[in-house]
Amino acid sequence: MTGAGAVACIGGGGFLVDDERGVQERHLLTLIPESRRRERPRVVFLGLAHGDAERGQFKAYKMFSKLGCDVTTLPFFPYEMKRDYPAEAKAADLVYVGGGNTPAMIAVWREFAFDRALHDAWQAGTVLSGISAGANCWFEDYVTDSVPGGGVRAGLGWLPGTFCPHLDSEPWRAPLLAGAARAPAYGVREGGMMIVRPGTAPEFVADKPGVTANVRWPGEAAREVPALDLSSR
């Protein structure tokens, strides 16, 4: 991942669930590399996993505009044929992917070759981030409720291992994560965020005190890892 941007995987919380404090979102902006920082960061919001609902797009505009960013959305329903989606993704300093149906989102991205556009943007230094589906999608495997009964499905495979959001708020997730064959396996709770940077171990932060992440490294038992509380900063 040499030269790639950070990937921030959010287990729950933030502006899409009407948390207007901006704790998570301000921290995401600090992940933009120094070489790409500008007076008004460029943020692209992708709401495909939730059907490109206008409410989610509005919340993204409201939050990131308040933080001094230029915000755009790239909807797939409807797909805007006159726009250059790959170019807009690559020009973004931060891409934020909303929650919803992960398998459907990945399928549509692949149909439009937008997965490759996102990968190119990431390799060029764009920060990739998202909540729930927007956190799941980057991994080899992920735990999802978007299939009947819930299950483990294959993601884009850009990050190794298995990821699970909402670990504490939906009890059925923990057994699936514990039984996932592919390690490392990460379970991130509400308010928590896992940050992956090129060549370093994952970092865990949270928008409230007392949050931990569940981590299982290959050949080891799962353990709880404390997350750094950002809310008091």
pLDDT for 109 equals: 98
Whether the CB-CB separation of 32 and 129 falls below 8 Å is answered with no
For position 199, what pLDDT does the model report? 84
Query: pLDDT at position 83, please?
Result: 97
Secondary structure of residue 221 in the 3-state scheme: coil
Token duo for residue 144: 């999802």
What pLDDT was estimated at residue 1? 42
150, 143 contact by CB (below 8 A): yes
Within 8 A by CB and 6+ apart from 111, the residues are: none
Of the candidates 166, 169, 231, 232, the residue annotated as catalytic is 166
CA angle 225, 2, 27 (to 5 degrees): 45
Note whether 173 and 191 are within 8 A (CB). no
- CATH code that applies to domain 7-229: 3.40.50.880
Residue-level pLDDT, tens digit, the chain, 233 residues: 447 899 999 999 999 999 999 999 999 999 999 888 899 999 999 999 999 999 999 999 999 999 999 999 999 999 999 999 999 999 999 999 999 999 999 999 999 999 999 999 999 999 999 999 999 999 999 999 888 877 999 999 999 999 999 999 999 999 999 999 999 999 999 999 999 998 899 999 999 999 999 999 999 999 999 999 999 87
Q: Which of 151, 114, 119 is nearest to 138 (CA)?
A: 119
Quick check: 96 and 130 in contact, CB under 8 A? yes
Q: Which of 129, 132, 169, 232 is catalytic?
A: 132
Phi, psi (rounded to 5 degrees) for 7: -125, 125
Does this model's pTM top 0.85? My answer is yes
In this prediction, residue 233 carries a pLDDT of 78
pLDDT given at position 147: 84
At 2 the pLDDT is 44
Say if CB 94 and CB 68 are below 8 A apart: no
166 is catalytic: yes
